[in-house]
Amino acid sequence: MKRVIRAMSLLPLAAGAQASTWLPAVAATTRADRVDAHFLFLLLLTGSVFFLVLFAVDLLLFANLRKAPDQVGDNRPNSVWHAALVGLVALVVAVLLFGAGARAYLDQQVAPIGTQQIDVTVGEAGQWEFHYPGEVTTDTLHIAVEQPTRLVLHADSEPVTLVVPAFRLREVALPGVPAATWIDAREPGRHFIVGERARAAGTAGLQSWAVVHEADGFTTWLASQTDILLSMPPVEAGRVLVERNGCLACHSVDGSKLTGPSFLGVVGRQETLTDGTTVVVDADYIRRSILEPAGQVVAGFPPIMPSFQGKIRDAEIDAIFQYFQSISDARETR
């Protein structure tokens, strides 16, 4: 089962956050600055051309008003050079604008080398899911300040749009066509995320937060998510560890005998070993079984269990023991 770390308590704040009819209040990435500069330049250019043209039309109109009843039009030849010059200036401006836009666009497609990647999907319940290295999944986006982060948006059955106004980011993924971009946040903070799905009504589920951590804050955060001992109670962590380490390929938790003995009721069980001795299963025995399985082999089973020495830490073995104990207790009370 997939485990998504939730932070829903943040959401009520999201409703009116950073709403603005002008540019979003925060420009949190270099990309945001660039987009804003481009936008303002275009606005100034089109605005000034608009007023210049209005002004010129007025000027010509007034200058050429008929001044006497018998005045007739003046038939000036059109100047080709004049028209060509205006055309040329417009062409140069258009090419420069296109060039700057294309460069910014291409820069956004190609992330710097060594960029950490976060995959973005929409979960079954219609909420964002951000997938980090190490199989960590959250419903809020976490990135480190000043560290380029690549975002790859995936859509499975319908087009999805991811929008982070403070990053000036808007990505659309089509089913089978992921959209990739990258961001570099300038300072720690928290920014509103919205999204849209083609067929779903409303965007309620796709509201979330982008959390920008201090550089080491992010590492600590990721470690705390990866280290499940810090993020869940031991019994639960033990269950996840048994799942993650592939123990269930050989051991059942329902009492049935697979390649190895079932974990159900294992704690306190008396086992006969291949050398004829008997042991009562306790924490130490379980530790030895995991680290040196060949040392004590349960009679009737092949000695094929691999050692997990160096793969499972002591604290994790404790959690696994507590999980075993919980399913052993559950059996006793049945």
- Which residue in 136, 240, 320, 327 binds ligand HEC (CB under 6 A)? 320
Q: Which residues of 240-258 are buried (b: 16+ CB within 10 A; e: fewer)?
A: bbbeebebeeebebeeeee
- Cα–Cα distances in Å, from 209 out to 17, 89, 190, 194? 11, 45, 6, 8
Asked if 263 and 252 count as a contact pair (C-beta separation under 8 A), the reply is: yes
Q: Does 325 bind ligand HEC (CB under 6 A)?
A: no
Asked if 4 and 139 count as a contact pair (C-beta separation under 8 A), the reply is: yes
Taking the mean position of all CA atoms in its chain, how far away is CA 198? 20
What number of helices (H) and strands (E) belong to the chain? 7, 12
- Cα–Cα distances in Å, from 301 out to 19, 146, 262? 65, 55, 12
Per this entry, what is the length of the chain? 334
Q: Does 304 bind ligand HEC (CB under 6 A)?
A: yes
Q: Does 133 bind ligand HEC (CB under 6 A)?
A: no
Provide, rounded to whole angstroms, the least separation between the CB of residue 333 and ligand HEC: 20
- Which residue in 24, 165, 195, 293 binds ligand HEC (CB under 6 A)? 293
Asked if 139 and 7 count as a contact pair (C-beta separation under 8 A), the reply is: yes
Stretch that binds ligand HEC, among 51-59, 97-105, 186-194, 295-303 (CB under 6 A): 295-303
Q: Which one, 89 or 294, has the nearer CB to ligand HEC?
A: 294
Q: Does 165 bind ligand HEC (CB under 6 A)?
A: no
Which residues fall within 8 angstroms of residue 75, CB to CB, at 6 or more apart?
A: none
Place of tokens 């319940």: 125
Q: How far apart are CA 155 and CA 176, in angstroms?
A: 7
- Which residue in 247, 267, 319, 327 binds ligand HEC (CB under 6 A)? 247
Which residues fall within 8 angstroms of residue 168, CB to CB, at 6 or more apart?
A: 24, 27, 29, 31, 32, 35, 36
- Which residue in 143, 151, 253, 281 binds ligand HEC (CB under 6 A)? 281
Stretch that binds ligand HEC, among 106-114, 182-190, 221-229, 294-302 (CB under 6 A): 294-302
Stretch that binds ligand HEC, among 47-55, 88-96, 195-203, 288-296 (CB under 6 A): 288-296
Q: How far apart are CA 317 and CA 302, in angstroms?
A: 23
- Which residue in 108, 149, 289, 325 binds ligand HEC (CB under 6 A)? 289
Provide, rounded to whole angstroms, the least separation between the CB of residue 30 and ligand HEC: 46
- Which residue in 154, 261, 323, 327 binds ligand HEC (CB under 6 A)? 261
Q: Which one, 30 or 245, has the nearer CB to ligand HEC?
A: 245
Stretch that binds ligand HEC, among 190-198, 203-211, 226-234, 282-290 (CB under 6 A): 282-290
- Which residue in 30, 226, 245, 326 binds ligand HEC (CB under 6 A)? 245
Q: Which one, 108 or 289, has the nearer CB to ligand HEC?
A: 289
Q: Which residues of 154-188 are buried (b: 16+ CB within 10 A; e: fewer)?
A: bbeeeebbbbbbbbbbbbebeeeebbbbbbbbeeb
Stretch that binds ligand HEC, among 8-16, 74-82, 116-124, 253-261 (CB under 6 A): 253-261
Q: Does 302 bind ligand HEC (CB under 6 A)?
A: yes
Q: How far apart are CA 148 and CA 216, in angstroms?
A: 15
Q: Does 143 bind ligand HEC (CB under 6 A)?
A: no
Residues in touch with ligand HEC (CB under 6 A): 242, 245-247, 249-251, 259-261, 266, 271, 281, 286, 289-290, 293, 297-298, 301-305, 308, 312, 320
